[in-house]
Structure 1
Amino acid sequence: MCGLLGFLSADGNASQFTASIEKALPCMRHRGPDEAGTWHDDDAVFGFNRLSIIDLEHSHQPLRWGPEGEPDRYAMTFNGEIYNYVELRKELQEAGYTFNTSGDGETIVVGYHHWGADVVRHLRGMFGFAIWDTTERQLFLARDPFGIKPLFFATTEAGTAFASEKKCILEMAEDMGIDLSLDRRAIEHYVDLQYVPEPESLHAGIRRLESGCTATVTPGGELKQTRYFRPQFPAQKVAKGTEQELFDRIARALEDSVEKHMRADVTVGSFLSGGIDSTAIATLAKRHNPNLLTFTTGFEREGYSEVDVAAESAAAIGVEHIVKIVSPEEYADAIPKIMWYLDDPVADPSLVPLFFVAQEARKHVKVVLSGEGADELFGGYTIYKEPLSLAPFEKIPTPLRRGLGQLSKVLPEGMKGKSLLNRGSMTMEERYYGNARSFNFDQMKRVIPWAKQEWDHRDVTAPIYAQSKNMDPVARMQHLDLFTWMRGDILVKADKINMAHSLELRVPFLDREVFKVAETIPHDLKISHGTTKYALRKAMEQIVPAHVLHRKKLGFPVPMRHWLAGDELFGWAQDQINASQTDDIFKKTAVMEMLNEHRNGVSDHSRRLWTVLAFMVWHGIFVEKRIDPGIEQRDYPVYL
C-alpha cells in the first residue's frame, strides 16, 4: 500500500524542496495511483502516493493529527498495513484519544503520541512510516520487524531525504548534492550474494533503514538508528506429550493471522503454487472469502511449472484459479522494466514469473496473500538439514578438520565426498552464507579483477552470526536468513514486483504473533522424519489437501540454464554484454567466455551469468541512461 517521500531540511528552508518532492513523486505512482498529496512547514516536506485499501473515502495522507490543545501537532506518511488496528484503536480510545478516520494509519500516529518510539512494538503488520513532530521538531522513521516494506534515506548538508523507493531520491540528488557514485563494496556484495544486503544500496550516498529498526533525526542533526526487533529462537525441548499442543498453537496463530490479513475494503485474492505455504494461506483465506480467487504462473517447458499441482490444490479447496504461462520472449522483454522497479538489481530469475502473475492478479483484485517467510520461520530449506549430516565432523579436532579440507581441494571435481569433506572442514560461519551465492572469490576474480577478499559474504554475515552464537545450528541458519536472504531477496521482490502493478501483497507468515510461536519450535521439530518444516506440516494436516502436505519445495522454477544455452536467451545475453558500458567493473571478455562455456556444456554458469546480466541491465538504466525501461509512470503528470 502506497509510497512515501519526504525531506527534512537542515536549515529551515524546506519550502525550497517542495518542487523537488513534486518532481520525484510521480516516479512511484505505481505504488499509489489512487491519489497523491503533499504537506510542508519550515522544516519538513512530505509527499505521498496512495493505494486505497482501508477507509477508502478518508485516511488521506500526509495525515495530520494532534491531541487536545495541540491540533495537527503531527504529520505522518505511512506505507503498509496495520492488521490489529481495530484492537489498537479500541485500546487508545479507552485511554481517552479521539480519531478522525476509521483507517489503520491513524492508529500509528495516535499510538506514537501515547507510547512514543515503543509504538512499533504494538503494531502487527507491515510498515515503513515517517512522523514529524512539529512541537519537538523531531522526525521519527520506522520499518516493520522483518523488512516487508522498504525505506531509503540520504543525508547531505541540505538535509535528509527518505522514500519508499530509491528512484525518488535519485530524482532529488542534484538538488540535495547526493553522492551518486557506485559503492564498490556493495557491488561486490551483490555479485557474491545476488542481492545488495541492507543497509547498503549500489549508490554510495543512499542507504536503507534496516528491518526492525527505528530512527530519529532533527534538523541539521545525524540520523540515529535503534534496533527494536531481535529474534531469539530460544533453545528448548518439547515434551512428547505436548507436541500436539505446539502444533495446535501454530495452526491457531496462522489462522488468526490470515483472518487479520483479510481485513480490507477491497477484494483480496491469494497466490497459489504447489507447496504447503501458499496452499495453507489460500485454504485459510477461503474460510473468510468463499469467492476467493487464486493465481499461479509457470512455463511451457516440462519440469518448470507447478501449474498442474496448483490447479489440483485449487480444486481441492474450492476456489476459482487463474493461470499465467510466461514465454521466453515475454521474459526477456520484461527484464528492463523489472530492474527499474527494483531500484537495485536482484539476480533472482523468479522475479519475472512473479511480475507476470502479479500483472494478471491486478486485473481481478487489489490485494493478494502469499506464503513468503514460512521457510525462514519454520525451517523449510533443505540446506537446514546440513548440520545433521556434518555432525560427525564436530567431534574431529580442528587441525585434522582443516587437513580434510586441504585434501578435498586435490580430489577431482565431481568425485563423491569432495564437497562433504570441504564443507565439513569449515565452521558454520565459514560455510553458510544464506540461501544464495552466485560467485566464490576465485570465480569473482575472473570477472571482477579489482575484487577484494575482505568484501566477501563474511563481511555481511559475521555481525549477524555474532548475535546467534547461543542458538542451535538450525536456528543460527534461520537467524542469518532472516537478516540476509529474506530481506535482501524474498521481500524485495515481494514488495517491488507486486507494487509495480499497484498490487498489495500481504504475507501472513511474517506476523508478530506467528513468529512468537515459530521461534519456540525446537530444531528436532523443524528438521524431522526426513522432511523440513515438520511442525508446520503437522499443524496443517487437517487444513491443506493431502497431496500438498509432504511435497518438496519447488517455488517458481525458471528454465534459465536451458534458455541461456539455447536460442531463447543466448543472443539476448550476447547483446547485453557487448552493449554494456561496465568495462570498469567487469572483465567483459571473461563474461563472454563464461557464456560460451555455458552454451557448450563446459560448465553450468547460469546463476553467475544471470547475476552479471541483471547488473548490466540495471547499469544501462540508472547509470548509462542507455536503456529505456518503457515505464509509463514516468509520463504521469504531477497532479498534486
Structure 2
Amino acid sequence: MCGINAIKMFQNTAVTHCQLVAMGNQMIHRGPDDENTWIHGDVGLGFRRLSILDVAHARQPLTNEDGTLALICNGEIYNYLQLREELKAKGHKFKTNGDAETILHLYEEYGTDCTSYLRGMFSFVLYDIEKDIMFAARDPFGIKPFYYWADEEKIICSSELKSIVTLMPEGKSLDPQSLMYYLSFQYVPEPATMVKGVSKLPPGHCMIVKGSQINIKKYWEPSFSPEKQDREILRTTIKEKLEESVKLHMQSDVPIGSFLSSGIDSTAITAMMRKHGNLKTFSVGFEGGQNECEVARVTARMLDTEHHEQMITEEAYFDTVDKVIWHQDDPVADPSAVPLFIVSELASQHVKVVLSGEGADELFGGYRIYQEPQALRYFRKLSPSLKRKALDFVSHAPAFYGKNFLMRGFTPLESRFIGNAKIFTGPALEYLQREKNDSGLMSAFEWAGNYYQEVQEQDEVTKMQHLDMNLWLPGNILAKGDKMSMAHSIELRVPFLDTSVFETARTIPTSLKVNSHTTKKIFREAMEGIVPDHVLHRAKLGFPVPLKQWLRGKRGDMCLSVIASSGISEYIQVGYAEKLVREHQNGKADHARKIWTLYVLAKWHIMYIENAITPLSTGTAETPLIS
C-alpha cells in the first residue's frame, strides 16, 4: 500500500525531481516509510512507500533485469506467489520477494494483457523505455484510486487529487457537471472529479500513453447473470471462495487486524481470520440505542479476539470533519466517513493492515432498498400509461397515509433509483440551484440511465445491484475506505471484492438474494456455523450517525454559516439552504442529509478551490481547521 505519482511530458521537456517530490509531499500519509523517484528524460515516476511485503527489499520504483521497464504500484497482488512460480518456470528472474515485481514480468510475457492475470487491488504505472509507452491500470472494482490530468504539454497521474492539483496551472475551478451529480449522488461518480479537467481512470480500465495520445480501454467489468442452481452447492461454494479470499488477503509481513461492526459482513471476515491465529479487532460507536460497539463487543468475546473500541462524542465527530474532507480529495457526503476515519486511527496504533467487509452488500444483495421491488410487485401488473396517469393524480393530491408508497409504485425503477443515496433531485434540486439547468448538463438520472441500458433484460433487483456496483461502490464505499484508512497509513483490504468471489456471487438467483423478510439470504445460510447467531440474522443498520439530532441545535447554524460564507454561494441558493436548516431545526422535516451534503461541499470548496492546498507537516492527519 503506497502512493504513486507519474509525469510524462509530450514535448521532450525533462521531468524534474522537484516536481515528483512536490507531488509526494501531498501524500506522506500514504507512504511514510520511504520515498523514491525514477526519471528517464521526459518521464518521471514518484513513489511513497508503506512497507507491507518484503519490507527490506521491495523498494519502488522497480525495474526489470535489463532496465527497460520501470514500475510503480499502489496496492496488493494476492496471487503473486502463484504468478512468481509460473513466471520463474518461463525463465523470469526476480530480485525481490514483493508482490509488485510480478507485474513487470507479466508485462514482459503478455504485454498490456497482463491485467487479466492479476488478482488483487491495484493502481499502477509502467513505463516501457524501448516502446516509449506509459501503461497504467486500475483494479477491477476500483479499490485503489487513480487520478490523471493532461494538457498539450504533459499528463500527470497520481493516487491523490491533491498531488495533481499541486502541478496544475493557477485558476483551477469546480466542474459544474460534477457538482450536478454530487448534489444528487452525494459523491462524484467515476470517471469525473469535482476539479475541472481532472479525471479518474475507471475501475477495470487501463490507459496507454504513446506520444501525446491517451487511449483508455476496459479490460474487465462486473456483470450479473442470475441462474438457477443447486442451493446446497451454492452455499458451500460461497463459503469456500470467501475463506480462500480471506486467507490470501492475510498475506503480510507486518501486524494485521480487522474492523468489527455489528453486521454480518465484518463478522464473517473476522471469524474466518480468527481461524488462522490470534487477532486484533477494532470498533467505534455512538452512545444510544444503536451503538455498534455493544454487539461487536459480544462478538469479539465469542471469537476470542483482542478487541479495541472507542466511543465517538458529538464534539469529537465535528472536530474531525476538516481532516476527513482534506483526505477525501473529492467531496463525499457520507456521514459514516468520520467514524471510519476514527476507527482507522484507532487501528493504526496496533496494526498496519486491516480487513473489512466492504462489497458484500453489492455482491449478495444486502441493502434493504433491494427489497422494494418485492413490496411493489403488484404494480408491475399495471400498464405504463395507467401508471403515468395514476402518478400524476397521486402526486397532486393532498398528503395522506401511503402516498409515498403509491408514488414509488407508479414510478418506474429508472426514475426513482440512482443508488443508495439520493439527496437533491427534482424540485428540490431546482430550488437549490442558483442558475437553472439550461446549459446541457446531465442529471444524475440521465447518468444512471447509461447503466440501466446495459441491463435492460434483467430483473429490478439485479438492475439495482448493477448500478451500485458501478456507481455507489467505487464512488462512495471504496473512495472513503481508501482515503480514511490511508489517512492513518494503514492498508485496508476487502476480501469480498475478489474476482473469484464475484464469479460465484454474480450467478446467484434473485430469489436467493432478497425477499420480503431478509436480505443476503443465501449468504446468511452459507455463514451458518461461522457467524455467531446473534449477528447472523440481524437486520442491516448501516452506520447510525446521529446527525439528525445534532443538526437540530447550534450545529445546524454552524453548517449554515459555512455554507453561506463559502464560494458555493456562486452555485446554490443560500436562501434555500437556510430554509432547509430552519425546517430541520423546527422539526418540520428531516433535512439532515441535505444539509450535510451542502456543508461538506462548502468545506471542500474552501480547501480545494478557494485556498491553496498545502501538504501536511507530518504523516499524521493534522490540517488546519476551518471555522
Q: Does the CA-based 8 Å contact 1:215-1:224 persist in structure 2?
A: yes
Are 2:387 and 1:401 aligned?
yes
**Corresponding residue pairs, total:** 620
Q: Which amino acid aligns with 1:191?
A: L
Paired with 2:12 and 2:178, the residues of 1 have a C-alpha distance of 33
Q: Unmatched 5+ residue regions in structure 2?
A: 623-627
Among 205, 227, 250, the residue aligned to 1:213: 205
Q: Does the CA-based 8 Å contact 1:63-1:77 persist in structure 2?
A: yes
Among 107, 110, 131, the residue aligned to 2:105: 110
Once the two structures are TM-superposed, the CA of residue 534 in structure 1 deviates from its matched residue by: 0.5
When normalised by structure 1's length, the TM-score is 0.94
Among 246, 265, 269, the residue aligned to 1:281: 269
Among 221, 224, 229, the residue aligned to 1:230: 221
Are 2:363 and 1:371 aligned?
no
- Which is further off, 440-449 or 620-629? 620-629
Q: SS of the counterpart of 2:374?
A: helix
Paired with 2:18 and 2:584, the residues of 1 have a C-alpha distance of 50
Among 429, 432, 447, the residue aligned to 2:417: 432
Among 544, 550, 567, the residue aligned to 1:581: 567
Once the two structures are TM-superposed, the CA of residue 635 in structure 1 deviates from its matched residue by: 12
Once the two structures are TM-superposed, the CA of residue 630 in structure 1 deviates from its matched residue by: 7.2
Q: Which amino acid aligns with 2:186?
A: Q
- Partner in structure 2 of residue 502 of structure 1: 489
Alignment of 1:20-35 (within 5 A): 20-35=19-34
Among 142, 146, 150, the residue aligned to 1:151: 146
Q: SS of the counterpart of 1:475?
A: helix
Paired with 2:550 and 2:225, the residues of 1 have a C-alpha distance of 45
- Which is further off, 108-117 or 31-40? 108-117
Are 2:243 and 1:258 aligned?
no
| Runs of at least 4 residues off by over 3 Å | 626-636
Q: SS of the counterpart of 2:283?
A: strand
- Partner in structure 1 of residue 510 of structure 2: 523
Paired with 2:615 and 2:581, the residues of 1 have a C-alpha distance of 24
- Partner in structure 1 of residue 625 of structure 2: none
Once the two structures are TM-superposed, the CA of residue 631 in structure 1 deviates from its matched residue by: 6.3
Identity %: 42
Q: SS of the counterpart of 1:565?
A: coil
Q: Does the CA-based 8 Å contact 2:2-2:75 persist in structure 1?
A: yes
Deviations 1:373-418 (A, max 9, x none): 00000000111112222222222111101011112202333x2332
Alignment of 1:76-475 (within 5 A): 76-174=71-169, 180-221=172-213, 223-238=214-229, 242-288=230-276, 290-300=277-287, 302-413=288-399, 415-452=400-437, 455-475=442-462
- Which is further off, 554-563 or 145-154? 554-563
Q: SS of the counterpart of 2:134?
A: strand
Q: Does the CA-based 8 Å contact 1:214-1:227 persist in structure 2?
A: yes
Paired with 1:143 and 1:126, the residues of 2 have a C-alpha distance of 8
Paired with 1:633 and 1:185, the residues of 2 have a C-alpha distance of 34
Q: Unmatched 5+ residue regions in structure 1?
A: none
Q: Does the CA-based 8 Å contact 1:334-1:352 persist in structure 2?
A: yes
Q: Does the CA-based 8 Å contact 2:371-2:515 persist in structure 1?
A: no
Q: SS of the counterpart of 2:308?
A: strand
Distance 1:574 1:469, change over 3 A: closer
Q: Does the CA-based 8 Å contact 2:326-2:604 persist in structure 1?
A: yes
Q: Does the CA-based 8 Å contact 2:172-2:609 persist in structure 1?
A: no
- Partner in structure 1 of residue 534 of structure 2: 547
Once the two structures are TM-superposed, the CA of residue 593 in structure 1 deviates from its matched residue by: 2.0
Paired with 2:307 and 2:587, the residues of 1 have a C-alpha distance of 39
Paired with 2:618 and 2:84, the residues of 1 have a C-alpha distance of 39
Paired with 2:435 and 2:445, the residues of 1 have a C-alpha distance of 18
RMSD, aligned CA: 1.8
Q: Does the CA-based 8 Å contact 1:247-1:539 persist in structure 2?
A: yes
Once the two structures are TM-superposed, the CA of residue 372 in structure 1 deviates from its matched residue by: 0.2
Deviations 1:111-149 (A, max 9, x none): 111122221111111000000000111111100011000
Distance 1:187 1:441, change over 3 A: same
Among 545, 554, 563, the residue aligned to 1:558: 545
Once the two structures are TM-superposed, the CA of residue 542 in structure 1 deviates from its matched residue by: 1.4
Once the two structures are TM-superposed, the CA of residue 13 in structure 1 deviates from its matched residue by: 1.5
Q: Does the CA-based 8 Å contact 1:337-1:629 persist in structure 2?
A: no
Paired with 2:221 and 2:411, the residues of 1 have a C-alpha distance of 27
Q: Which amino acid aligns with 1:233?
A: F
Q: Which amino acid aligns with 2:6?
A: G
Distance 1:51 1:507, change over 3 A: same
Q: Which amino acid aligns with 1:183?
A: D
Q: Does the CA-based 8 Å contact 2:149-2:197 persist in structure 1?
A: yes
Q: Which amino acid aligns with 1:107?
A: T
When normalised by structure 2's length, the TM-score is 0.96
Q: Which amino acid aligns with 1:198?
A: E
Once the two structures are TM-superposed, the CA of residue 459 in structure 1 deviates from its matched residue by: 2.7
